[in-house]
Amino acid sequence: MIEARRLHILRAVADHRTVTAAAAALYLTPSAVSQQLAALEQETGHRLVERSARGVRLTAAGDILLTHANAVLAQLERAESELAAYGSGEAGTVTVAAFATGIGLVVAPALTALARTAPGIRVRVQDAEGDASLLMVLDRQVDVAVAVEYRGAPGADDPRLTRVPLYAEPFDAVLPPGHRLAETPQVALAELAGDPWIGPYPGNPCHDVVVLACEYAGFQPRLEHTSDDFRAVVALASAAAGVALVPRSALRDMDLTGVVVRPVDEVAPTRRVFAAVRRGAEEHPLFRPVLAALREAAASQG
């Protein structure tokens, strides 16, 4: 009989692409992960993974088993949700991973609302970039992720996750005050093709939004300065180090006296934010109020 915990290990290896990374995410040793994979191969009678210098990939048999693993693990999440509901589930701890702006915009207001509507639920918040938080949910390090759409992000039909749309916001152009386009009411990205750029590091979902928007405008941005802290990005723009695209909510409550902020002409690049839980866990009596509070906090921003 196949053990469910070994299916979870198989999925972690598929997600992280190396035994070492999967082991770290699961708080196991690499040898323990390898032993569990070997036991799973013995249980199924098939070779499930192939190792190479670049990491680990699933075999065809491994892909077949992973499809069933996603369904089995989702069903187990549903079972836990129903059992928790049966036991009332009115009190407990929920861990939420979210990026910094999302914490300020929706997570903190959701906590305020939950203190009134569900005082038995204690929420613990972890700061995590929008791409990292999804793996944290899948690895059961946290319960809920507030994440951002990015190139390669799990889609709405991903069998491992249930997604709840929260909000979408445009990116605005941030220019030095003496910039040649500082007096224009809107900025066409194509006109910034020759400028030095300031932006997030590769791997940050906002990096993908910026690069894709520039590529759509017909050029590759020349990123000369990198920071995942938008306050640092604005500070560099104020020092005439370059131009940038910054999510509109990240500019709230900042001192913008040293820069010029303009909307982007035509179709503005957009950051789409959603909450995610492991598929099957969306009806858990602890998670459901948290997801509802996040939705309401996002709607109140509209």
- The residue segments making up the domain with residue 147 are 89-165+273-300
**Considering the entire predicted model, what is its pTM?**
0.71
User: In this structure, are residues 64 and 34 in contact, taking their beta carbons and an 8 Å threshold?
Assistant: no
Ordered alpha helix ranges (H), the chain: 4-16, 19-26, 30-44, 60-86, 100-102, 108-117, 132-138, 205-216, 230-238, 287-301
pLDDT of residue 171: 94
Q: Of the candidates 83, 111, 146, which is a domain's last residue?
A: 83
Q: Of the candidates 83, 102, 136, which is a domain's last residue?
A: 83
- As given in the structure block, the two tokens for residue 39 are 């036991």
pLDDT in tens, 204-253: 888 988 998 999 999 999 999 999 899 999 999 999 999 999 999 889 88
Cα dihedral 226→231→235→236 (10° resolution): 10
pLDDT in tens, 178-195: 899 999 999 999 999 999
Residues 212 and 67 placed together within one structural domain of the fold: no
Q: Number of structural domains, the chain?
A: 3
Q: Of the candidates 28, 59, 83, which is a domain's last residue?
A: 83
pLDDT of residue 248: 92
pLDDT in tens, 53-94: 788 889 998 889 888 988 888 888 888 877 776 566 677 889
